[in-house]
Homo-oligomer: A and B are copies of this chain.
């Protein structure tokens, strides 16, 4: 039954086909695939040859049915906000796909309809389509975590359980405060003393976290933060306006921003006023987006270790799905700083 070029077998070979060819029983073939140790060496070789010859791969559906697991990890892709955060999520997805692949899993993407974010989870869970979830949008008031826990659905969240410090589920997050602290220290080291902050509105936990890093670094050197901070929407224009006001009222020599989008707004203001980013006024953004890399003169930006985050998430998933489940503590990763012309 060697492969004939141009002729493709109509039906995929099954365990029974392999067993017959190798002259053993179905179970022996199954063991050869799942528990090779149980077989005598020569039998194993014979079975493996047969598998090779037929081009056999276990039927996923049958295996899933029997073992009650799909080796799929579900992740909800929240419908498109065209923002910086989105690009970061995409980078994370890339890393996640790569890492899960190495662990023998695949990533299944879905999006619940907008008005009921839980719908997608519910469907997949009840139909046992996925083994676990990766949850990414852990903003305030998002009921996913609590809901999933109540259903005893295994999941790992990328993002801290901000609104529930006692949450018991595993999570991985990037220490935003450490990132902005790094950025602020970098500016302090360059001799800046009047460093302004432009961040998000107060209801964003992530925004307040990032702001805390900036303020911590300043207070460490006994520098005041009063009047040096502005909290706005995450748009270029907001960043532009906020930085214009701050320049007039607080006269900072540097800006740290909660996002590259806001930092771009600062760059616009500087250009409006004939100021040179980097030379006259320093600017640091957050997320190391493509924008930061290609804009003139290069935007220094905090880079989240998303590849590493994906690895940790998958590790946590493997722990959750092990028998018995091993559930570790939350993991906080430290970002790095990509230094470019703007500082």
Chain A contacts to B: CB under 8 angstroms: 6, 8, 12, 55-62, 64-65, 68, 70, 72, 77, 79-80, 82, 84, 87, 90-91, 93-94, 97-98, 101, 106-111, 120, 123, 126-129, 150-152, 236, 261, 264, 267-268, 271, 289-291, 293-296
Contact = CB atoms under 8 A, between A and B. Distances in A.
Contacts of A68: 61
Given A57-B123, A59-B65, A111-B101, A8 B236 contact: no
B290 A271 contact: no
A28 to B, nearest CB: 20
Contact of A126 (B12, B61, B271): B12
A258 to B, nearest CB: 15
Tell which of A61, A91, A93, A126 has the most Cβ of chain B within 10 Å: A61
Tell which of A8, A12, A82, A101 has the most Cβ of chain B within 10 Å: A101
Copies of this chain in its oligomeric complex:
2
B126 A57 contact: yes
A179 to B, nearest CB: 20
Q: Which 4 A-B pairs have the closest CB atoms?
A: A61-B64, A57-B126, A61-B65, A90-B90
Contacts of A293: 82, 236
Contact of A57 (B61, B127, B290): B127
Contacts of A80: 91, 94
B70 A97 contact: no
Nearest to A78: B94
30 contacts: A8-B150, A8-B151, A12-B126, A12-B128, A58-B127, A60-B70, A60-B128, A61-B65, A61-B68, A61-B128, A64-B64, A72-B108, A77-B93, A79-B98, A82-B290, A87-B90, A90-B93, A97-B109, A97-B111, A101-B120, A106-B109, A106-B110, A107-B108, A236-B293, A261-B294, A268-B296, A271-B296, A290-B290, A291-B294, A291-B295
